[in-house]
Chain A
Amino acid sequence: GAGVSQTPSNKVTEKGKYVELRCDPISGHTALYWYRQSLGQGPEFLIYFQGTGAADDSGLPNDRFFAVRPEGSVSTLKIQRTERGDSAVYLCASSLTGGGSSPLHFGNGTRLTVT
């Protein structure tokens, strides 16, 4: 595929459950970003990968959130013991180079609803 792919597009889970959200970036893009967007607000930074390593994870709200990118391509955002406040659209973006200075390509997001 030509674009950033996120799966699932929608996820409904019960409070306390564990969820994984997947991002498949554009092939060759070294930089990958996760953002979270609540209704009516702009995206909020969560974590940035350069290659396989998390170059900046300062946006993760707490230790229930974790993300990996083991081979420098696909990334998984993991949320443990989900809470209703975690409900949001989780957006992934990739860019050819890192540092936020090259154009970003966004996926369509995963809408997470915690009931």
Chain B
Amino acid sequence: KNEVEQSPQNLTAQEGEFITINCSYSVGISALHWLQQHPGGGIVSLFMLSSGKKKHGRLIATINIQEKHSSLHITASHPRDSAVYICAAKETSGSRLTFGEGTQLTVNP
């Protein structure tokens, strides 16, 4: 069992739909990262959070430390949002990040 699990693995949506991607982790963490990876491999950091909620444009990330769960929401989705979304947990002890396997999002026009 991976220490960081994401669901769903694949998600297809129509333009304009509200999207939720989930991340659960089994270790104690001090921070959780949400990353976006476009075809060709470039990874962009979207959020880093340790509690509560953050918002940037149409993207919202939430985390519940007690439940060891985080969600990434995309409002009014657009085809350019199509990418792989990865969550990564920074464990309380040590410096490494443990990555989920990613969620492939496809938004159709």
Binding site for B on A (CB under 8 A): 31, 33, 35, 37, 40-45, 48, 50, 55-56, 58-59, 89, 91, 93, 98-106, 108-109, 111
| A-B contacts, CB under 8 A, total | 72
Is B99's CB under 8 angstroms from A100's CB?
A: no
Which B59-109 residues have C-beta < 8 A from chain A? 86, 88, 90, 94-102
- A102 and B97 in contact, given A42-B86, A89-B41, A91-B43 (Cβ under 8 angstroms): no
Apart from the given pairs A44-B99, A93-B43, A98-B95, 5 other A-B contacts in the complex at a CB distance below 8 Å: A35-B99, A100-B31, A106-B44, A106-B45, A111-B41
Binding site for A on B (CB under 8 A): 4, 30-31, 33, 35, 40-45, 48, 50, 86, 88, 90, 94-102
Docked-complex contact A42 and B41, CB < 8 angstroms: no
Partner of A42, one of B30, B31, B44, B101: B101
18 pairs across A/B with beta carbons < 8 Å? Answer: A42-B99, A43-B86, A43-B88, A48-B95, A56-B94, A56-B96, A59-B96, A91-B43, A98-B95, A100-B90, A100-B97, A101-B30, A101-B50, A102-B48, A105-B45, A108-B40, A108-B41, A111-B41
